[in-house]
Amino acid sequence: MADLSKYRNIGIFAHVDAGKTTTTERILKLTGTIHKTGEVHDGEATTDFMEQEAERGITIQSAAISCEWNNHRMNIIDTPGHVDFTIEVYRSLKVLDGGVGVFCASGGVEPQSETNWRYANESGVARVIFVNKLDRMGGDFYRVVDQVTNVLAATPLVMVLPIGIEDDFTGVVDLLSRKAWVWDDSGQPENYKIEDIPADMVDKVEEYREQLIETAVEQDDDLMEAYLEGEEPSIEDIKRCIRKGTIALDFFPTYCGSAFKNKGIQLVLDAVVDYLPDPTEVDPQPLTNEAGEETGEVATVDASEPFRALAFKIMDDRFGALTFVRVYSGSLKKGDSVLNTFTGKTERIGRIVEMEAEDRKELEGCEAGDIVAFIGMKNVQTGHTLCDPKHPGTLEPMVFPDPVISIAVSPKDKAASEKLGIAIGKMVKEDPSFRVETDEESGETILKGMGELHLDIKVDILKRTHGVEVEVGKPQVAYRETITQTVEDSYTHKKQSGGSGQFAKIEYTISPGEPGTGYEFESTVTGGNVPREFWPAVEKGFKTSMDKGVLAGYPCLDFKVTLTDGAFHAVDSSAIAYEIAAKGAYRQTMPKAGPQLMEPVMKVDVFTPDDNVGDVIGDLNRRRGMIKDQEAGPTGVRIKAECPLSEMFGYIGDLRTMTSGRGQFSMEFLHYMPCPKNVAEVVIKEAKERNESN
């Protein structure tokens, strides 16, 4: 059995362009996993292996890699930084035990770092901080340390100080050992010397070292007492305290360097080994019942327990479907069967591989603490639990935010139409924040995602990876219609054309229904004026008409039809005649019943820094939004509002502009509300023009 104390499951996460992928490349080089480092700006990074990633210089999918350092095994996940792909960060954090937060020395704590930090806090993930790009113009380690305190409301524990800045940055001083690590200009990570501290830094080093020890010994009362009496603790004791405080999220060991120039990475790797938790030191995952409520049981990280693993990512590549799993308890061998608690089906595990970015290493088995990939699983999706069929148990599932933007796509030709269905099926499996629907009214395929870039990349993947050419339409709003007045009316359908004719007369009341009731029908006819066998035909006539409202052709909601009386003819009356009569009655009476256009209203949740609250609220008011609530948090304010969907297109772009990219929002459908007269007039006019052109 593996020694779990030697395992580290870590993620590397940060804002776009802070240097996460470059840092990962350097770690792989240092640990001997790769022999030549690829650069992001050349499109050659090991973990950025999608064409779209290489081209745009951004990470889209999180990639999992295993490597070794100081006799410890590390499973590293490089995550994307862009806000439209936060889902990738979120699901990675769910399966990690620790993380490295990378910040740019000149950019500082940027908006997406805040979001990722918030996710990591919610997931209870211990982190070390790496302030990268100290060789860049404007790089300032001390400013970033202040921002971590003020913007993220976190406590950075400074472990090293930089020697020189910008072009003169040559290395770092390790505060614990009071030694300077100085690299030469060759750019090779192994070309460094350990020297005495530069004379001009001695005072600063002592000042920061004292702060470091004071913060660390707060974790141990005995050491603290001894320290206050003037006895300095040993380095082992200080490290033990730092480890304890890091795992408890009391503070975050903070390092600096330049990943691109290969300076300072070794100390970060040492920190991962020294201070981040192994799989047994984090709270075990709770098990849940079918309703998603915790049962009180947990998946203990132990290879002798029943097998429990969470599928956190599905990836389709040239070898077939890869299912990335984090094994929480138990062990599994190649050829064993596992139960998927979501589908209730059992599947046999054919191959288990360990990922080294695009390359893979075949494994005979896996056990608690591992992050591996299974090849060829059929019905597994992100968030599903795989477990021992004899001991079923469900791990807490992942909750994904609902998509906020949708576009319509249609294939350019028949060949593309067949490929589109298969391609979209694969893409939905890979990305739980990407949804697809078919619009029954127009027959178009509607793609829904987390933002414009997200959908832009999806259309790009359709074209390049799957070879499907599609035409992309404008986002549309699904309006509805209803009525506001009760009308009593009658309608007679008469047709005589030689032989038997058609005759049906109905008297009826159409009245508005309660919101959400849809369409209701009842008959109060007595005395057989409309024979009972024709009532269903009348009901059907109204029901088939409600799909097209009289104002703008949108489906009609919430009304009730009561059949009160009528007449029939012994020879000429039939079910079809009554159905036609009901359809005619709908067209005749609905315009008299005060028809009204209804628009979808969304529940909007906006996160904004304190400085921009006024602008954001003013903008929501201009969008006909109703502000319902405001909550202040350590890093900003959450505003809850209700807003019509038609006013929310392009909102993410405007919000990012107003908040310098730091704002975020999510929205979900709430209910339908009557449209204001001026808005309704525009929608009705557009609908009529559309119908005329069709």
- Write out pLDDT tens, residues 124-142: 888 999 888 888 777 788 8
In 133-235, DSSP assigns E strands to 156-158, 160-163, 171-174, 179-183, 192-195
Helices (H), 86-140: 86-95, 111-123
Q: DSSP of 325-367, one letter per residue?
A: EEEEESEEETT-EEEETTTTEEEE--EEEEEETTEEEEESEEE
The CATH topology of domain 598-680 is Alpha-Beta Plaits (3.30.70)
How many CB atoms neighbour CB 270 within 10 A?
16
Helices (H), 385-534: 414-430, 452-464
Q: Is the pLDDT of residue 143 over 50?
A: yes
Query: Is 74 in contact with 23 (CB distance < 8 Å)?
Result: no
pLDDT band at 398; cut points 50, 70, 90:
low
* Predicted local distance difference test score (pLDDT) of residue 440: 60
Average the pLDDT over 621-635 and give the result: 84
* Predicted local distance difference test score (pLDDT) of residue 623: 92
Cα 2 to Cα 331: distance, rounded to the nearest angstrom: 11
* Predicted local distance difference test score (pLDDT) of residue 508: 92
Cα 224 to Cα 232: distance, rounded to the nearest angstrom: 9
Cα 158 to Cα 650: distance, rounded to the nearest angstrom: 41
**Using a CB cutoff of 8 Å and minimum separation of 24, what contacts does 117-120 make?**
117/152, 117/154, 117/635, 118/635, 119/86, 119/89, 119/90, 119/93, 120/13, 120/93
* Predicted local distance difference test score (pLDDT) of residue 50: 40
Residue 676: HSE in the Cβ half-sphere, 13 Å Cα cutoff? 10
pLDDT above 70 covers a percentage of the chain that reads 80
Cα 509 to Cα 519: distance, rounded to the nearest angstrom: 13
Quick one: three-class SS letters along 595-638?
Answer: EEEEEEEEEEEEEECHHHHHHHHHHHHHCCCEEEEEEEECCEEE
* Predicted local distance difference test score (pLDDT) of residue 75: 80
Least confident span in 71-85, 214-228, 472-486, 660-674:
71-85
Average the pLDDT over 48-55 and give the result: 40
pLDDT band at 201; cut points 50, 70, 90:
confident
Report the candidate in 471, 493, 688 with the shortest Cα–Cα distance to residue 588: 493
Tokens at 429, concatenated? 């499996």
Cα 73 to Cα 96: distance, rounded to the nearest angstrom: 14
* Predicted local distance difference test score (pLDDT) of residue 16: 54
- Class of the 480-593 domain? alpha beta
- Write out pLDDT tens, residues 328-376: 888 888 888 888 888 888 888 888 887 665 567 788 888 888 888 888 7
10-32 burial, b at 16+ Cβ within 10 Å, e below that, comes to bbbbbbbbbbbbbbbbbbbbbbe
Q: Is the pLDDT of residue 437 over 70?
A: yes
Q: Is the pLDDT of residue 311 over 80?
A: yes
* Predicted local distance difference test score (pLDDT) of residue 59: 36
* Predicted local distance difference test score (pLDDT) of residue 305: 82
Report yes or no on whether pTM surpasses 0.85: no
Residue bearing the bigger pLDDT, 585 or 89: 585
Q: Is the pLDDT of residue 547 over 70?
A: yes
* Predicted local distance difference test score (pLDDT) of residue 42: 39
* Predicted local distance difference test score (pLDDT) of residue 620: 93
Please state, in angstroms and as integers, the Cα–Cα distance from residue 520 to each residue in 16, 512, 561, following that order: 53, 10, 6
* CATH number for the domain running over 287-395: 2.40.30.10
Residue 673: DSSP 8-state: E
How many CB atoms neighbour CB 40 within 10 A?
22
pLDDT band at 477; cut points 50, 70, 90:
confident
* Predicted local distance difference test score (pLDDT) of residue 81: 44
Arithmetic mean of pLDDT over the chain? 79
pLDDT band at 581; cut points 50, 70, 90:
very high
Cα 350 to Cα 334: distance, rounded to the nearest angstrom: 6
* Predicted local distance difference test score (pLDDT) of residue 320: 66
pLDDT above 90 covers a percentage of the chain that reads 9
Residue 200: DSSP 8-state: G
Report the candidate in 404, 383, 406, 405 with the shortest Cα–Cα distance to residue 395: 383
* Domain boundary assignment for the chain: 4-281, 287-395, 405-472, 480-593, 598-680
Residue 555: DSSP 8-state: P
Query: Is 486 in contact with 509 (CB distance < 8 Å)?
Result: yes
Cα 117 to Cα 373: distance, rounded to the nearest angstrom: 27
Average the pLDDT over 503-527 and give the result: 87
> 4-281 falls under which CATH superfamily?
P-loop containing nucleotide triphosphate hydrolases (3.40.50.300)
Query: Is 608 in contact with 663 (CB distance < 8 Å)?
Result: yes
Cα 355 to Cα 65: distance, rounded to the nearest angstrom: 5
Average the pLDDT over 316-328 and give the result: 75
pLDDT band at 582; cut points 50, 70, 90:
very high
Least confident span in 30-39, 241-250, 309-318, 504-513:
30-39
Cα 585 to Cα 151: distance, rounded to the nearest angstrom: 64
pLDDT band at 495; cut points 50, 70, 90:
confident
Cα 667 to Cα 549: distance, rounded to the nearest angstrom: 27
- Please tell me which of 262-266, 323-327, 616-620 the model is most confident about, judged by mean pLDDT: 616-620
- Write out pLDDT tens, residues 272-306: 888 988 887 777 676 676 655 666 666 677 777 88
* Predicted local distance difference test score (pLDDT) of residue 280: 77
Least confident span in 9-18, 157-166, 302-311, 483-492:
9-18
In sequence order, the 6+-apart residues with CB closer than 8 A to the CB of 27 are 67, 69, 74, 76, 265, 268, 269
Cα 306 to Cα 328: distance, rounded to the nearest angstrom: 10
Least confident span in 398-407, 429-438, 499-508:
398-407
Query: Is 493 in contact with 568 (CB distance < 8 Å)?
Result: no
> Are 287-395 and 598-680 equal in CATH topology?
no
Least confident span in 194-198, 310-314, 593-597:
310-314
Cα 610 to Cα 565: distance, rounded to the nearest angstrom: 64
pLDDT band at 36; cut points 50, 70, 90:
very low
Single-letter residue type at 111: P
- In terms of Cβ atoms closer than 10 Å to its own Cβ (0-12, 13-18, 19+), residue 3 is exposed
The CATH topology of domain 405-472 is Alpha-Beta Plaits (3.30.70)
Pairing between strand 595-608 and 480-483?
antiparallel
Report the candidate in 143, 81, 148, 93 with the shortest Cα–Cα distance to residue 119: 93
Average the pLDDT over 550-554 and give the result: 85
Tokens at 533, concatenated? 């066998």
Report the candidate in 548, 644, 635, 657 with the shortest Cα–Cα distance to residue 602: 644
At 406 the three-state DSSP class reads strand
* Predicted local distance difference test score (pLDDT) of residue 254: 92
pLDDT band at 92; cut points 50, 70, 90:
low
- Write out pLDDT tens, residues 209-262: 988 988 888 888 888 888 888 888 888 888 989 999 998 889 999 998 887 777
* Predicted local distance difference test score (pLDDT) of residue 100: 86
* Predicted local distance difference test score (pLDDT) of residue 253: 93
Query: Is 8 in contact with 97 (CB distance < 8 Å)?
Result: yes
